[in-house]
Structure 1
Amino acid sequence: YHTRLEKYAHNIPLVGGLFENAAPHYLIRRFALKCDAIVAPTFTAKEYLRNIGVGKTIAIIPSGIEFQPYKDVASDDLNALSQKYKSNDQIVLLSASRLTKEKNLYFLLEGIKYIKEHSDIPFRFILAGDGPEKSNLLRFIENNALAQHVTLDFSLNQDKLIQYYLFADIFLFASQSETQGMVLLEAMAGHCPVIAVRSGGTEDVIHNGYNGFKTEPDIAVWAEKIITLMKNPDVLHEMSENAFSFSLKFSEESIAVKVAKLYMKVLKRLKHNDRQKD
């Protein structure tokens, strides 16, 4: 279980908004009850499933991170990014996302606008991704005079994204539709602390003041956390190291062991039940 379907339900034009409320919960519950076990990436996701009536075995196992691609990034690639974006010792802020309304991207841009108006620290915000909101985002950036501070990169692949993680100083996240927010752990693997809007996908990943900050969906409060880190390089460095240390707990190898143990447990239980039937 990895997606809050009700956050996307508005894309289906049903009369009265029925699908936006009861229907997603019904569909998730109906499917989950047909399973022998369910993997939930966070405690919050497990709690949600329990709240909608799923009584099956639910194991909390987050997705794993492959660290080798981070080690394979060439220093020349990072230097090229520095030459392109870090003139005047700019702080580099990063967000990576599919460009859709559900990702709360205009909140990010309103936050960037706030930082521009309330801080004189040089910075560059890179929004990496593609999607149907691309033209609207470009229009918003132009209308709010943010072009000097915001770069949109639509030509993104996983290798380039990892370069961005390693290059950026702070990762920004505002989506409230994720159950885990895997991108947060991937960013932390690149030594990026995360400033996020509080949601189910951030609760188990971000520890306030340690590897990032999570706030209520208030633009000023959220943006002030970013400004705080921008103004305090020693704190930023410490949180960057903490973010990387935290991400190490989620290596693909360690997660694979947990998944294998769950499979064995379920198979053992099913085998036992079959014997009882005989």
Structure 2
Amino acid sequence: MASKDSPSVTMVENTAAAFSAVTQGPLHDLSKFPERLRGKRILLCTESFGPVNGVSRTTLMLVNHLRAHGANVAVVAPHNHTKVNTFVPTVVSESPSIDDVPLNPEIRIHGYPLPFNPELSIVYPVRLSALYARTFNGHKPDLIYLASPASLGFQVMLQVRQQPAENQIPVLANFQTDLSGYCAILFPAPFSDFAVYCFAQVEGFLFRHPSVQTIFYPSRFVRRYLEKNRVAPEKMQLLRRGVNTEMFNPTRRNEMLRQTLAPSGEIILVCVARIAGEKGFNFLADVATELDRRGLAFKLYIVGGNRNTAVEDEVKALFSDLVQKGKVIFAGFQVGETLAESYASADMFLHCSITETFGLVVLESMASGVPVIARDEGGPSDIVDHGATGFLVPPADLEGFVNKVLLLVGDTDLRWKMASEARRQACEATWDKINNTVAWRMLDAIDKREAALDEAQFEELAEEDEQESAREREPLLGYPSGTKLTTAEMVAAQKKLEPPSSWQTWAQSIDTSLVDARLTAGLGIILGFWGIVGVYLIFIKAALYLKGRVRVM
């Protein structure tokens, strides 16, 4: 019998996994938005909010959904160094503020763009109080949401945990990027092992704190990673992504595009991904080379790019022979209807990345009525229903991957059957239900904190009443004249009225200093790690520049 994680997992199991979020935590009607979340202040911090990638698209959908239903969402993100494809939320406020609290503000903070992916930045040190001041005019948010936390999210979580318990704003995090997986690929050994270890320790340390109420995860692959880092199961909630089934639709199939790409009726294979080494292009190049060796008449249409032209050129060099033969075509960045047509006009979608926590492009391909062949690692393992909507192949099985492509090439009926089932399954993933899942979790976290504050306030009032009653029973030095007190009572009463001694004041200052020291040390560790990464990335950037100069000469 197949194992739970094998490609032969049944459709019933996949469907149950996809919607298991409904049964986690308090039961809510996910077809409805929680009314009491209207007007709540939400500080949303994201590592990117502008370039076209799956995380940014998912975050934008959530921001628009929350704002459309009346939540006050402040977006904090690094500056967009690419200067193109900037997202503009569709929901804007009619008035700039209510009661001196800005509505739906968006602020950009400074950071250093990563050389291999300028869409992401290492954010410079920022204080949480400064974020409160710049977003809600100094008012604290009701909740903090971290989209794929990295350099910005780590700083926010660390500073929240250093606050007194009554000042700790509840945090929800969406784990959407496998940073440790990227490190394992981008860094040479033994630095890769060290980087993976550091990320695991930092993430586990931050995620385990009580202030972090929920960690959304997109696949079993990510859940296993969180469990390994000892994150409490009750904090974790499965959260799939939705897909725009009107935009990504089989009706977008463009026969003119197909004729342009494959004038002789060649099979059209499409791959949509950022052009970077961690996206599995080495494997894809080997697949294409083997298909060519076996004599298949095909066109591989690669959609995507990289703002760092040196990285893009390095990947393109892997396909140079096939490009010259006209079998591989690089389309560059695409968005909107152009991208939708590229999906729908293909015969099958090839996904070779093994670092995806979800793989939104896989779902978009399925919505476009195109079967998927993917390596069985990461998020796509939970999206593709093996044998029904496509095929999952062991990550290192090049021959198996090629054989699945040839199988679908030779069996048109199977290909169309998979295309129909892929579309049907994709239509079940609606953004409204997914974003309402997040909204209800937000309200649950806010309600939990307000209940804890009410309980603490009640206990404080009860304690004050008790102290007042004690003072009335034992007014100490305020006894009416004639009241006789023992010597011990007189000494105890006198001590209570005396100001704290110098050593007591010194001890209190030490305690405050320790809190500041812990915050400074924690930030130092995180920023030190980012500093080491930055130095290494500067080295990579210089090496790519020199390599590009040599190539030109």
Task: Provide TM-score, normalisation by structure 2.
Answer: 0.47
Output aligned runs, 1:235-250, within 5 Å: 235-250=414-429
Amino acid at match of 2:435: A
Residues in 1 aligned to 2:378 and 2:384: alpha-carbon distance in whole angstroms: 11
Amino acid at match of 2:345: F
Helix, strand or coil: the match of 2:282? Answer: helix
Residues in 2 aligned to 1:176 and 1:233: alpha-carbon distance in whole angstroms: 28
Residues in 2 aligned to 1:269 and 1:52: alpha-carbon distance in whole angstroms: 25
Report the alpha carbon displacement of residue 277 of structure 1 after superposing the two structures with TM.
2.4
Count of aligned pairs: 275
Report the alpha carbon displacement of residue 257 of structure 1 after superposing the two structures with TM.
2.5
Aligned position for 2:341: 163
Report the alpha carbon displacement of residue 18 of structure 1 after superposing the two structures with TM.
4.9
Helix, strand or coil: the match of 1:48? Answer: helix
Is 1:8–2:182 an aligned residue pair?
A: yes
Amino acid at match of 1:152: F
Amino acid at match of 2:399: A
Is 1:224–2:403 an aligned residue pair?
A: yes
Task: Provide TM-score, normalisation by structure 1.
Answer: 0.90
Q: Name whichever of 139-148 and 247-256 sits farther off.
A: 139-148
Amino acid at match of 1:36: Q
Q: Name whichever of 186-195 and 55-64 sits farther off.
A: 55-64
Amino acid at match of 1:5: L
- Residues 103-135 of structure 1 deviation map (CA, whole Å, 9 limit, x = unaligned): 110101110111122244x22111111124322
Which of 287, 291, 294 is the aligned partner of 1:111? Answer: 287
Is 1:48–2:225 an aligned residue pair?
A: yes
Which of 343, 351, 354 is the aligned partner of 1:173? Answer: 351
Q: Name whichever of 139-148 and 91-100 sits farther off.
A: 139-148
Residues in 2 aligned to 1:176 and 1:24: alpha-carbon distance in whole angstroms: 18
Report the alpha carbon displacement of residue 160 of structure 1 after superposing the two structures with TM.
1.9
Aligned position for 2:261: 85
Residues in 2 aligned to 1:52 and 1:242: alpha-carbon distance in whole angstroms: 36
Output aligned runs, 1:24-39, within 5 Å: 24-34=199-209, 35-39=212-216
Amino acid at match of 2:444: K
> 1:17–1:137: structure 2 CA closer, same or farther, 3 Å change rule?
closer
Helix, strand or coil: the match of 2:247? Answer: helix
Residues in 2 aligned to 1:242 and 1:65: alpha-carbon distance in whole angstroms: 15
> 1:238–1:137: structure 2 CA closer, same or farther, 3 Å change rule?
same
Larger Rg computed on CA atoms: 2
Mark the runs of 5 or more structure 1 residues left unpaired by the alignment. Answer: none
Helix, strand or coil: the match of 1:214? Answer: strand
Aligned position for 1:101: 277
> 1:69–1:85: structure 2 CA closer, same or farther, 3 Å change rule?
same
Report the alpha carbon displacement of residue 43 of structure 1 after superposing the two structures with TM.
2.7
Q: Name whichever of 137-146 and 177-186 sits farther off.
A: 137-146
- Residues 9-58 of structure 1 deviation map (CA, whole Å, 9 limit, x = unaligned): 25468974454331111122233234211111123312221111111511
Which of 127, 142, 145 is the aligned partner of 2:302? Answer: 127
Contact between 2:249 and 2:367, CA under 8 Å: does it hold in 1? no
Helix, strand or coil: the match of 1:236? Answer: helix
> 1:105–1:74: structure 2 CA closer, same or farther, 3 Å change rule?
closer
Contact between 1:191 and 1:241, CA under 8 Å: does it hold in 2? yes
Contact between 1:6 and 1:19, CA under 8 Å: does it hold in 2? no
> 1:270–1:43: structure 2 CA closer, same or farther, 3 Å change rule?
farther
> 1:218–1:71: structure 2 CA closer, same or farther, 3 Å change rule?
closer
Mark the runs of 5 or more structure 2 residues left unpaired by the alignment. Answer: 1-174, 458-553
> 1:227–1:119: structure 2 CA closer, same or farther, 3 Å change rule?
farther
Q: Which has the higher contact order (CA 8 A, sep 6+)?
A: 1
Contact between 2:304 and 2:332, CA under 8 Å: does it hold in 1? yes
Contact between 1:9 and 1:19, CA under 8 Å: does it hold in 2? no
> 1:170–1:269: structure 2 CA closer, same or farther, 3 Å change rule?
same
Residues in 2 aligned to 1:146 and 1:208: alpha-carbon distance in whole angstroms: 34
Residues in 1 aligned to 2:188 and 2:291: alpha-carbon distance in whole angstroms: 37
Residues in 2 aligned to 1:73 and 1:170: alpha-carbon distance in whole angstroms: 16
Helix, strand or coil: the match of 1:249? Answer: coil
CA RMSD for the aligned pairs? 2.4
Is 1:20–2:185 an aligned residue pair?
A: no
> 1:15–1:205: structure 2 CA closer, same or farther, 3 Å change rule?
closer
Contact between 2:305 and 2:332, CA under 8 Å: does it hold in 1? yes
Is 1:256–2:435 an aligned residue pair?
A: yes
- Residues 49-96 of structure 1 deviation map (CA, whole Å, 9 limit, x = unaligned): 111111151110112212232369767xx1331221132322211101
